[in-house]
Amino acid sequence: MASRDEEFTAYVTARIPWLRRVAYLLCQDWHRADDLVQSATTRLYVHWRRASAAENVDGYARTVLVRVFLAEQRSGWRQRVRVVDRTPDAAVEPADHAGGMDLRAALAELPPRQRAAVVLRFYCDLSIEQTADVLNCSTGTVKSQSARGLDALRRVLAPVAEGERLA
């Protein structure tokens, strides 16, 4: 049991920044991202024997994280918890560039499944088939969700790009 725990701890310690970043891209809130990662790592620990035997442990962990996010979106969590724009004592966040802020704001406007499809396809660099497996849907659904998400991002970001050219 001790070696199992040590193996799990080593994996999570090494991959927590990556999991946290993916979670943030999905939910657009660092505190919620931390909650998602905590829930996902708890589920990962429970199934660590199966996860560690998987061909791609990162893929397994990412799938758990995305499914935790989507399950939360379907539940009443958003109605029970009030999320505010600013916390009184904000944690130190990494330096941000204007383009990154615009992209995150645009991502936040996408519906959860479109956001998950776009993040998995273009941030995590998964194939259509891999994304379909993570989202537990068909490849056609991934294609349509990705296309709709990208179209929405283009619409939101286009005025910013035009405004920058004029300045």
Pair 120, 164 in one domain: yes
The predicted model scores a pTM of 0.64
Pair 131, 75 in one domain: no
Q: Which residues, including other chains, have CB under 8 Å from residue 104's CB and lie 6 or more apart?
A: 25, 28
Pair 51, 108 in one domain: no
Pair 86, 17 in one domain: yes
- Whether the CB-CB separation of 70 and 40 falls below 8 Å is answered with no
Residue 8, Cβ neighbours under 10 Å: how many? 17
Q: At residue 11, what is the residue type?
A: Y
Distances (CA, A) of 16 to 38, 65, 86, 149, 164: 10, 11, 24, 27, 35
Residue for token pair 């283009």: 154
Which tokens go with 13? 């310690």
| pLDDT the model gives residue 167 | 47
Pair 86, 121 in one domain: no
DSSP 91: P
Q: DSSP of 107-146, one letter per residue?
A: HHHS-HHHHHHHIIIIIS---HHHHHHHHTS-HHHHHHHH
In this model, does residue 1 exceed pLDDT 70? Answer: no
Q: How many domains in the chain? A: 2
CATH code of 37's domain: 1.10.1740
Question: Average pLDDT, stretch 68-72?
Answer: 90
Question: Average pLDDT, stretch 51-70?
Answer: 93
| pLDDT the model gives residue 2 | 67
In this model, does residue 142 exceed pLDDT 90? Answer: yes
Pair 80, 108 in one domain: no
Question: Average pLDDT, stretch 40-66?
Answer: 94
Question: Average pLDDT, stretch 123-138?
Answer: 92
Angle at 43 between CA 65 and CA 83, to 5 degrees: 55
- Mean pLDDT, rounded, of the chain: 84
- Split at pLDDT 50, 70, 90, the class of 162 is low
In angstroms, rounded to a whole number, what is the distance separating the alpha carbons of residues 35 and 165? 39
Pair 1, 72 in one domain: yes
Pair 101, 74 in one domain: no
In this model, does residue 42 exceed pLDDT 80? Answer: yes
Which tokens go with 125? 């660099």
Domain with 2, as residue range(s), is 1-94
DSSP 89: T
Question: Average pLDDT, stretch 117-140?
Answer: 92
Pair 128, 88 in one domain: no
Which tokens go with 65? 């994280």
Distances (CA, A) of 153 to 41, 64, 120, 156: 30, 26, 15, 5
Give percent of the chain with pLDDT exceeding 90.
Answer: 60
| pLDDT the model gives residue 58 | 94
Q: Which residue has the higher pLDDT, 89 or 55?
A: 55
